[in-house]
Amino acid sequence: MKEKKIICKQCKKEFNFTIGEQQWYAEHSLNEPKYCKDCRKIRKDEKTNSSKQNVKWEEK
């Protein structure tokens, strides 16, 4: 197994998909990433923030 270079779907920058990451993804039956770590973090943060905004508190 060799380290792979992948182009991020969002920012179009090249990032390394290390051997260790490839093994971890394979062990968990995941597809290889389409986004670099920075873009994955941004997407995760956006999802977290949008779900927090959708919480409706009941007034008593």
pLDDT in tens, 5-47: 999 999 999 999 999 999 999 999 999 999 999 999 999 998 8
Q: What is the DSSP string of 20-44?
A: HHHHHHHHTT-PPPSS-HHHHHHHH
Q: Model pTM?
A: 0.70
Helix (H, G, I), strand (E, B) or coil at 54: coil
pLDDT of residue 25: 97
What is the chain's Cα-based Rg?
16
Residue with tokens 């394979």: 26
Tokens of 51: 């779900």
Higher-pLDDT residue of 50, 48: 48
pLDDT of 48 above 90: no
**Pairing assessment for the beta strands 4-7 and 14-17 based on DSSP bridges:** antiparallel
